[in-house]
């Protein structure tokens, strides 16, 4: 029975790329899922490696979903190696609290992260701060050093100037990756620059709302020139913590992990416990105050969620 990858799921159909096929030239097989999946409450996802049976009309049926190496709930995609977390430096303005929330969700899955700051051509010089919300070159450099110091790879790009595109492609060489982030940050523009002839729809930022319209309406894996597959996903600005427990939140902040091992109490939440090494590290400037503040906000959100349910 042939095997393949689901590269698109739309309106109950699964578009399967046959295994070993040339990613840029092969045609997909349009498949339906077996009824048993619905009975078992199993949903095939984009990125799934599957077994499928071909039917007489040239279509097929997905008969088995092979074991997954990873799974994201939002965006719904399986077997991803790298998440490219895309945030613009302005229009919309870079929101570090939302960035850290995305990072928590990705760290909880164990998938590697590549941080991409787009629209670098819109940065202002340090002495040009007439518009309070605009990002300056110096401020972005400070933010870049903060996240690189934590252990993240950061790439700054400009689709307009074609800068940073090759660096992104290099990091995605041979990988299955997904682009995630708010709408309007330039994900589709960046993918258009990475994949010749793609021409994904893009929209201007709403000046009233300060964010973009959702131009991507479904998840689809697209072939890269280096043999990798990348997914554009619908943008979104709200995330909840349904998959993250209070006791596991600290582990989703990479710089907390080694330091927390020195806390007096196992499972320390770094609130008021005595001999908390994480709080000591914040006081000493080893852990950024912004990151710890976001940790406390997220911890409160998780506890409030538990009380509601």
Distance CA 297, CA 97 (A): 9
Is 31 among the annotated ligand-binding positions? no
Distance CA 166, CA 169 (A): 5
Full-model pTM? 0.83
Is 181 among the annotated ligand-binding positions? yes
Render pLDDT for 242-298 as a digit per residue (tens, 0 to 9).
Answer: 788 999 999 999 999 999 999 999 989 999 999 999 999 999 999 999 999 999 999
Distance CA 238, CA 28 (A): 33
Is 118 among the annotated ligand-binding positions? yes
Q: How far apart are the first and last CA of the chain?
A: 45
Render pLDDT for 29-81 as a digit per residue (tens, 0 to 9).
Answer: 999 988 778 778 888 999 999 999 998 888 999 999 999 999 887 778 899 99
Is 250 among the annotated ligand-binding positions? no
Go through the chain and tell me how many residues it has: 309
Place of tokens 């409160």: 300
What domains, with CATH codes, occur in the chain? 3-67 (2.40.50.140), 77-232 (3.40.50.300), 246-308 (1.10.40.50)
Is 182 among the annotated ligand-binding positions? yes
| Token reading at 225 | 């020139």
Is 237 among the annotated ligand-binding positions? no
Distance CA 84, CA 230 (A): 9
Find the helix packing angle between 96-109 and 289-308, rounded to 10°: 70
Distance CA 253, CA 240 (A): 17
Give 69's DSSP letter. S
């Amino acid at each position: 029975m042939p095997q393949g990858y689901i590269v698109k799921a739309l309106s109950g159909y699964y578009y399967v790329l046959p295994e070993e096929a040339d990613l840029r030239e092969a045609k997909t097989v349009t498949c339906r899922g077996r009824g048993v999946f619905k009975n078992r409450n199993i949903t095939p996802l984009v990125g799934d490696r599957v077994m499928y049976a071909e039917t007489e009309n040239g279509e097929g049926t997905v008969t088995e979903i092979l074991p997954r190496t990873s799974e994201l709930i939002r965006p719904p995609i399986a077997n991803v190696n790298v998440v490219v977390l895309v945030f613009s430096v302005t229009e919309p303005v870079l929101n570090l609290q939302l960035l850290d929330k995305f990072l928590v969700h990705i760290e909880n899955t164990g998938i590697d992260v590549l941080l991409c700051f787009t629209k670098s051509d819109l940065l202002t010089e340090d002495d040009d701060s007439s518009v309070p919300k605009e990002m300056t070159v110096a401020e972005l450099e400070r933010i870049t050093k903060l996240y690189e110091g934590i252990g993240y790879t950061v790439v700054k790009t400009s689709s307009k100037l074609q800068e940073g595109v090759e660096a992104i492609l290099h990091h995605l060489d041979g990988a299955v990756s997904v682009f995630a982030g708010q709408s309007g940050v330039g994900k589709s523009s960046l993918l258009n620059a990475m994949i010749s002839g793609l021409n994904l729809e893009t929209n201007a930022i709403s000046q009233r709302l300060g964010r973009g319209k959702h131009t991507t309406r479904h998840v689809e894996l697209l072939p890269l020139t280096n043999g990798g597959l990348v997914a554009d996903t619908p943008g979104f600005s709200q995330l909840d913590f349904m998959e993250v427990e209070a006791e596991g939140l600290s582990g989703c902040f990479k710089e907390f992990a080694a330091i927390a091992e020195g806390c007096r109490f196992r499972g320390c939440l770094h609130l008021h416990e005595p001999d908390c090494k994480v709080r000591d590290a914040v006081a000493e400037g080893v852990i950024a105050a912004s990151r710890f503040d976001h940790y406390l906000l997220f911890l409160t959100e998780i506890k409030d969620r538990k009380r509601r349910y």
